[in-house]
Amino acid sequence: MAIGSGGEEQRHRHACAACKHQGKKCDENCLLAQYFPAEKAEEFNAVYKTFGVKNLTKMLKSVPNDHRKQAADTLIWEAMAWKEDPLQGPRGLYNRVIAELNILQQYHSARSVGLCGEHDLGVQEIKYQLSTGETSRSKEYQQADTGHRGWVAPPPGWVKINVDSSAPFGDYIGGGICRNSLGKCLFGFTVHQCQGSDELGAQFQAIIKGLIEAWTRCHRKIIIEINSLEVVHSITNGVRPQDHFIHLSKIKELLGRDWCCRVERVGNEANLCANWLATMFAHESPGDSFFEVPPISIASILEKDLAGVRGL
Ligand SMILES: [Zn+2]
């Protein structure tokens, strides 16, 4: 089928990417020349591998002439998506966008409902925000409105560190896990306390450990979640249990750095991973521990928490 335009110019140009690839002479009748000029060799190669020349030609011919450019661009887009993600192709991209949308919608609805906050229907959160370089504290009570009591992923660009403590062997152990907006585990740890330590101390130490690690890894938007109201109060209100002066001073120093940190209280169901680290994982791995790839024994809890990424 003749393209029928720009004939004089086309006669003198180089073979298009398609003809070059097939070792054919490219003339003015070449259907693919205007969509795959010589400089689009990479795009053609991807389309060729995904669809084959025969299908490509057939698909382009099946749409009206003035829509072919759009069809060719779409095929290129799809083929490049397959090239980037051989497992899921365009669906992988689609899934990532949907996951991001769900997270944004969750946060949007939590925010718009949360500020009326008189009824105690959901998880009460105490937020502590320290914005860049400022010392002013803002406390805001928010309630969850979705009925979802499990873990919720942080917004894109943020990381969330869940922290908990327990005393499976008598001495207290703090545990924490840091995840991003896609629910991916970035790191996790346990901190074993010295003899005679208490629950608060283990939680403070876990918060310190998590914040230091996040800072070192250049994360600058952090949400700390913990289910102890006492810990959140001590940090947000500056209440200093006598025994923990050093811990709280360290946390204050960390929160005052040039980043954005929030400390929030969550229910147990939203804190399962951290709880598991401070209890069960302590059996698996005695002594302080640190990991980037989560241990297999936590996989089912991590998977459960992913409901908070998929928006249920
Ligand atoms: Zn050609």
Q: With helix as H, strand as E and coil as C, how does the chain read?
A: CCCCCCHHHHHHCCCCHHHHHHCCCCCCCCCCCCCCCHHHHHHHHHHHHHHCHHHHHHHHHCCCHHHHHHHHHHHHHHHHHHHHCCCCHHHHHHHHHHHHHHHHHHHHHHHHHHCCCCCCCCCEEEEEEECCCCCCCEEEEEECCCCCCCCCCCCCCCEEEEEEEECCCCCCEEEEEEECCCCCEEEEEEEECCCCCCHHHHHHHHHHHHHHHHHHCCCCEEEEEECCHHHHHHHHHCCCCHHHHHHHHHHHHHHCCCCEEEEEECCHHHHHHHHHHHCHHHHHCCCCEEECCCCHHHHHHHHHHCHHHHCC
**For 284-309, what is each residue's pLDDT tens digit?**
777 889 999 888 888 888 888 887 67
Q: What is the pLDDT of residue 285?
A: 73
Ligand 1 centroid to Cα of residue 68, in Å, is: 15
From ligand 1's centre to the CA of 31, what distance in Å?
7
What global pTM score does this model have?
Answer: 0.55
Instruction: Tell me the CA–centroid distance for residue 1 and ligand 1, in Å.
Output: 12
Residue 84 CA, ligand 1 centroid: distance in Å: 26
- Tell me the domains of the chain and their CATH numbers: 7-77 (no CATH), 93-310 (3.30.420.10)
49 alpha carbon – ligand 1 mean position (Å):
17
State in Å: Cα 58 to ligand 1 middle: 15
Predicted confidence at residue 137, as pLDDT, reads 29
pLDDT, position 226: 95
| pLDDT tens string 196-222 | 578 888 999 999 999 999 999 999 999
Count how many Cα atoms sit within 13 Å of the Cα of residue 158 in the half-sphere of its side chain: 17
Q: What tokens appear for 195 in the block?
A: 């003899």
In the structure, what pLDDT confidence band is assigned to residue 68 with cuts at 50, 70 and 90? Answer: very high
Distance, CA 85 to ligand 1 centroid (Å)? Answer: 28
Given a contact cutoff of 8 angstroms between Cβ atoms, the answer to whether 164 and 301 are in contact is no
Instruction: Tell me the average pLDDT across 159-165.
Output: 96
How far, in Å, are 114, 143, 308, 311 from residue 109 at the CA level?
A: 8, 11, 14, 12
- In this structure, are strands 124-130 and 138-143 parallel, antiparallel, or unpaired? antiparallel
The arithmetic mean of pLDDT across residues 82-111, rounded, is 76
pLDDT higher than threshold 80 for residue 108: no
